[in-house]
Structure 1
Amino acid sequence: MNLETFKHIFYRLPVVVRLLIAISVLMLFFGGAIHLLEPRQFSSLFDGIWWAFVTGATVGYGDFAPITVPGRLVGILLILSGGGMLTFYITTLAAKTINHESELSEGKVAFKGKNHIVVIGWNERTKQLADMIADKRDDQEVVLIDRTLDELNFQNYPVHFIHGDPSEDAVLVQANIQEAASVLISADTTAQKERQADNNTILATVAVRGNNQVVPINAEILTISQTENAVRAGADTVISSNDFMSTLLYHELFHKKQTRPFETVLNLLNKQQFAHIELPHELNGRSFKQAVPFFLKNHELLLGFIRDSEWIINPSEETALQDNDMLIILTDWA
């Protein structure tokens, strides 16, 4: 390796690594020099290197010390050069740590983990989602992509923040989209019109699907007319938040007395989850009434089934279950 090649490689290394190499070479040089000048006082090369590090760091244990004039001159040179370099290394390391934390909060640090959830868009909904994940699944890593935030403190919200446009490949690469377990694209609350928000969601969906062909994508759509476009773009699940809220508001306006629909749904989803399962073979041809106890023994509640794309909820007790029915059950989160 010639000098130019060495310089090309060396100066491409991080500053902290370069300093560490320089300090190691310097301490090796002074340790070897004192060992050669005073072999009785420093009987091994390691003793010389140990003395060089202790002296250069201005610790000065006193277990080794030069006694000859040449040895003491080497000690003086070490104090003048090595001490400053060690101090510079420590301050550089501290500065790098602080700078890394600053870049992390500004969304400039790429995510290197795997099996994480990528959340696109920062709003009140995703804030609460981040809190719920941290509370219920503290081992799940979340990566947030947002172009409107200038800074997000990790201590306040336990998510890895990536600043940028989610429709750009470079930003998705920073979020390590190839290794993501799932993606949630929240509606853009900064858009002036709902249709524009949906266009942003669809554009982000196309970009994500282009970078990862298999990752599940959950996209929030505000206008019904854009639902099919979101599916065409690659969304596996389209969340029509306006439809959900409209239905819930209708229930709040016209519910029966002594009923609180919103609080009921909220508490239900906080403690239980819906699951779709294929009809067990032993229930084929059985009535809905006969199938209910089958799930109750596992602390699960049968709500209905999906047959030929038709959702049948709370059917009559004599309704016969058929092969290929997809059952809808309510079960624990575990």
Structure 2
Amino acid sequence: MNVSLLKHIYVSIPKLIRLLIGITLIMTLFGTAVHLIEPKQFPTIFDGVWWAFVTGATVGYGDYVPLSTPGRLIGIMIILTGGGMLAYYITTLSAVAVDRKFKERHGELAYNGVDHFIFIGWNERTRQLIEMVYQKDPSKAVIVIDQTLKTKPETHSFIHYIHGNPALDLTLEKAGVYSAERVLITANTSQSEDQADRMTILTALAVRGHHQKVPVVTEILTDKHINNAKRAGATTIIRPNDFLSTLLYHELMHTPHATPFENILQLLNNQQFKQVSYDQIESYKTFQEASAALLEQHQILLGVIREDKWIINPGPNYTFKNTDTLLMFASWTNKKAPE
């Protein structure tokens, strides 16, 4: 092992660890020396090292005291050198803590956890979504990537903020995209719809390049970019314009005393969609049989997906096929599959 390699290893060690190793070596040296000079006052090397640390920290318990001139000279050297190093270590430790807090607030601190959510884009949609996730699962870590925020949102101290362009490798690596559970890419509504969709697709490509299996949920504003988003690796494509247009139509055309928007909002807040292959519940042949059985499990059968077609609320005698997928509602607390 040559000198340059040793220097490289030494420099690669964090500054605090280097300081701690240096202080430990110096105190061990002084403690060993005082033990050899005054073995009666310091019966073991550990006793000498203990005295060196206590003296260097200016604590001075008085349980061990050098009596000879050489021993006292060692004490003076400890105060002049070791004491300074200990003070420098404590100062450095404080500076590291302050620097970490600064980096965390300004989105410069990398996230090192696993199984977390990554939300790309800070807006009212992600703000409300974060609060929903926190209410249902406070232990779930949420990472927010945004390049418009100057500092981490003070009202959401439980999130981890990353400042930067989400399409860049460095930004995604800081967010721990390799170990993320899910990624959500929201559209930047401050841009034109076409430009926002292009940025969303570029970000989806960057995410997929880092993690081939992570589910990527994207928000696409225009129909012409849906296929591009699929090719970019989007697992789910949210089309807010389509959804809002349909919802507005219901609000305009609904029957008296109906409240479509509130109904859908409350439904989605309290229930979750579930899709189950028919082969998991083959004991039920018709829609009526399956509906009755699922109701006993607090699940509501809505319809069937057959050959990429959604058949909602078919007749009671509707017969299932082996290739069907059943669409149902279930409580958020209901995690098990239908029996």
CA 1:37–1:155 in 2, change beyond 3 Å: closer, same or farther? Answer: farther
Deviation at 1:290, TM superposition (A): 2.0
**Matching residue of 2:293:** 294
- Aligned residue pairs total 331
The answer on whether the counterparts of 1:42 and 1:64 sit within 8 Å (CA) in structure 2 is: yes
Partners of 1:141 and 1:253 in 2: how far apart? 40
Partners of 1:155 and 1:20 in 2: how far apart? 37
**Matching residue of 1:82:** 82
- The two structures have a TM-score, normalised by structure 1, of 0.95
**Matching residue of 1:247:** 246
Partners of 1:242 and 1:93 in 2: how far apart? 52
Could you give the per-residue CA deviations for residues 2-42 of structure 1, whole angstroms, max 9, x where no partner exists? Answer: 54443332233221111111110110111011111111000
The one-letter amino acid of 1:189's match is T
SS state at 1:268 partner = helix
**Matching residue of 1:271:** 270
**Matching residue of 1:10:** 10
Identity %: 47
The answer on whether the counterparts of 1:121 and 1:145 sit within 8 Å (CA) in structure 2 is: yes
Could you give the per-residue CA deviations for residues 185-211 of structure 1, whole angstroms, max 9, x where no partner exists? Answer: 1001231x1111111111111111122
The answer on whether the counterparts of 1:30 and 1:74 sit within 8 Å (CA) in structure 2 is: yes
Partners of 1:282 and 1:127 in 2: how far apart? 44
**Matching residue of 2:282:** 281
Q: 291-300 or 3-12, which moves further after superposition?
A: 3-12
**Matching residue of 2:29:** 29
The answer on whether the counterparts of 1:131 and 1:157 sit within 8 Å (CA) in structure 2 is: no
Could you give the per-residue CA deviations for residues 244-296 of structure 1, whole angstroms, max 9, x where no partner exists? Answer: 1111122222222222211111111111101010112112xx33222211101
- The two structures have a TM-score, normalised by structure 2, of 0.93
Q: What residue ranges of structure 2 are gaps of 5+ in the alignment?
A: 334-339
**Matching residue of 2:202:** 203
The one-letter amino acid of 1:282's match is S
Q: What residue ranges of structure 1 are gaps of 5+ in the alignment?
A: none
User: Aligned pair 1:303/2:306, yes or no?
Assistant: no
**Matching residue of 1:233:** 232
**Matching residue of 2:64:** 64
The answer on whether the counterparts of 1:305 and 1:311 sit within 8 Å (CA) in structure 2 is: yes
The answer on whether the counterparts of 1:201 and 1:219 sit within 8 Å (CA) in structure 2 is: yes
The answer on whether the counterparts of 1:154 and 1:160 sit within 8 Å (CA) in structure 2 is: no
How is 1:123-142 mapped onto 2 (pairs within 5 angstroms)?
Answer: 123-142=123-142
How is 1:47-196 mapped onto 2 (pairs within 5 angstroms)?
Answer: 47-153=47-153, 156-191=156-191, 193-196=192-195
CA 1:3–1:323 in 2, change beyond 3 Å: closer, same or farther? Answer: closer
Tell me how large the CA RMSD over aligned residues is: 1.6
Could you give the per-residue CA deviations for residues 157-180 of structure 1, whole angstroms, max 9, x where no partner exists? Answer: 422222211111222222222222
Deviation at 1:155, TM superposition (A): 7.1
Deviation at 1:322, TM superposition (A): 2.2
The one-letter amino acid of 1:228's match is N
Q: 40-49 or 73-82, which moves further after superposition?
A: 73-82
The one-letter amino acid of 1:274's match is F
The one-letter amino acid of 1:85's match is M
**Matching residue of 1:315:** 314
CA 1:50–1:112 in 2, change beyond 3 Å: closer, same or farther? Answer: same
Partners of 1:320 and 1:96 in 2: how far apart? 67
